[in-house]
Chains A and B, each alone.
Chain A
Amino acid sequence: MVDLRKVAIIGVGNSKFGNRSDVNVAELTYESVKPALQDAGLTAKDVEFVALGSVGAGAWYEELLPAVVTAEYCGLTGAGLVRCEAACASSSAAFQTASSAIASGQTEIAMALGVEKMREIDTPTAMEWIGRAGYYFWEFHNFGLTFPAYYALYANAHMAKYGTTEEDLALVAVKNHKYAAMNPLAHLQNKITVDDVLASMVIASPLKLFDCCPMTDGSAAIILASEEKVKELKIDTPIWVAGIGFSSGTANLSRRKDYVGLEASVQAAQMAYKNAGVTPNQIDLAEVHDCFTIAEILAYEDLGFCNKGEGAKLIREGQTEIGGKIPINMDGGLKAKGHPIGTTGCSMIYELTKQLREEAVEKSRQVPLKNYIALAHNVGGTGHYCYVTILRR
């Protein structure tokens, strides 16, 4: 491999997540771009390249070219510009794209952005669009799969093979709501109990309403710079991109070899660990892709935080809370912070940057750091895409 330049995160911003019918897609993006620029001490004119992750362009919100619309509104016009699509991992793909632009020597300062407006259409139509996100022709057209249903297929298989229970799934929701309640940016800030989850309505068995992330609007922005720029700008706490891994899975779920883990996650994680030169037990905290409660349990196993089939044990023992072996989703996760799908990757990186800097995060959910290494795991679709990003202070 050729020598690549080091890349650092020098500014981050994250809008308030929720039902944001008070703003359009461009105004919502501005809410994260402005604080990111202020955080880095830069102006929009300093940014040479912008990669935007967003999925619903022209479908659940009205703008077909959100990159140009948001760039104009945020004063970024003139920078190199691209929209990245990797379903729910779109802004991790944008982060990888922006990071590569710096690592390769093409640019000195780049921005990764994510934005999603999911609440401008009715819920069944939103479920229709997202249900089509797999192989429309073979798995949606005649069979009407929804996104909860895709993950429910994994849940039933995991429960049958490893004895994972609906109560175990509920524990994930309870944990993530607990931390979201401490996060003012989160969409759902209510604490819930296992009984609340079990009593909620069935969406696609065995998944119930409280096993599912909400439909959320939000944006996140990350500014990246070369090592030379970090020195020139005198950035006091750069967070370094230690390693990125990526992979993909088949469009048809019927072409997968099993339904108890996501092969794309396993492969992306192995690549990220190798590129960063770290092992799972060196990670101080992680953001994992918990679009549904089962997805967090699959992630524990696929990322190597426990052995295959032992994900439920990890949540039962409280090992993924502060004070446990590996605190996970300390911002409330997709489950409770919310999952504006094209935004999630950058929002995970926002949270990890704040945690690694030990700043501005509400004290009650600041993870004690040992190695100053953190991991973001962002899945697109049902294991259709996966990006794993490892950061180091």
Chain B
Amino acid sequence: MASMPSIKSKEIKIVQEIPISKTLPFWETLKQGKVLATKCTKCGKLYFPPAADCPNCLSSDLEWVELSNEAEVETFTHVVIRPTSFQQNKPYTVAIGLLKEGVRVLAWLTGFKLSEIKVGMKVKLVTKITAEGNVTYEFVPIEPK
């Protein structure tokens, strides 16, 4: 922040409304405990995050498929210093998991001590409702602790 003479800019509040019409089944199904991907019916390519269009073969005929919940941690980090919109959260761990189907998912990893987390460990992908009431997904231990 300025330590020298300065004038404050005008304040504005920015909230964008992000369209989800084309991925609506993904968000609806999350509430039912399922994580969906899309699969191109023409070339078979699987998309996560789900895409409504396939740039591989230029088809827009994609179907919704449910992902298995079996994942292997490819990498992770524990985020201590957090951005403005996550200041109310405690430090959190983010991981990238490779699913059995070959797609990768980036999400929070919960239920472990940081020292227990290793690259290559098996985890489970589950859906979750946040404290603010939003639906999302996260990785958790395979066996409840």
Asked if B59 lies at the interface with its beta carbon under 8 angstroms from chain A, I say no
Which one, B80, B106, B118, B134, contacts A205 given CB within 8 A?
Answer: B80
- In the complex, which residues of chain A have a beta carbon less than 8 angstroms from the beta carbon of B92? 143-144
Asked if B58 lies at the interface with its beta carbon under 8 angstroms from chain A, I say no
B79/A153 in contact, CB under 8 A: no
Q: How does the 8 Å CB contact mask read for B4-15 relative to A, with 1 for contact and 0 for none?
A: 101001000000
A157/B75 in contact, CB under 8 A: yes
- In the complex, which residues of chain B have a beta carbon less than 8 angstroms from the beta carbon of A127? 81-84
Asked if A306 lies at the interface with its beta carbon under 8 angstroms from chain B, I say no
Query: Are A138 and B86 also in contact (CB < 8 A) when A143-B107, A153-B75, A255-B104 are?
Result: no
Bound CA–CA A258/B75 (angstroms): 9
Asked if B49 lies at the interface with its beta carbon under 8 angstroms from chain A, I say yes
- In the complex, which residues of chain A have a beta carbon less than 8 angstroms from the beta carbon of B2? 21, 119-120
Q: How does the 8 Å CB contact mask read for A114-133 relative to B, with 1 for contact and 0 for none?
A: 00000111101101100100
Asked if B131 lies at the interface with its beta carbon under 8 angstroms from chain A, I say no
Output the least CB separation between B37 and chain A (Å).
11
- In the complex, which residues of chain A have a beta carbon less than 8 angstroms from the beta carbon of B107? 142-143
Name A242-273 residues within 8 Å CB distance of B.
252-256, 258-259
Q: Looking at the complex, which of A32-40, A196-204, A353-361 is the stretch in contact with chain B?
A: A196-204
Which one, A128, A161, A201, A205, contacts B77 given CB within 8 A?
Answer: A205
Q: Which residue of A lies closest to B50 (CB)?
A: A138
- Which one of A21, A253, A254, A255 has the highest number of Cβ atoms from chain B below 10 Å of its Cβ? A254
Given A143-B107, A145-B79, A205-B77, 11 more A-B residue pairs with CB atoms under 8 Å apart are A124-B83, A125-B83, A128-B85, A144-B83, A149-B79, A153-B77, A156-B75, A156-B119, A157-B75, A204-B80, A254-B103
Which A residues are closer than 8 A to B by beta carbons? 19, 21-22, 62, 119-122, 124-125, 127-128, 131, 135, 137-139, 142-146, 148-149, 152-157, 160-161, 201-207, 252-256, 258-259
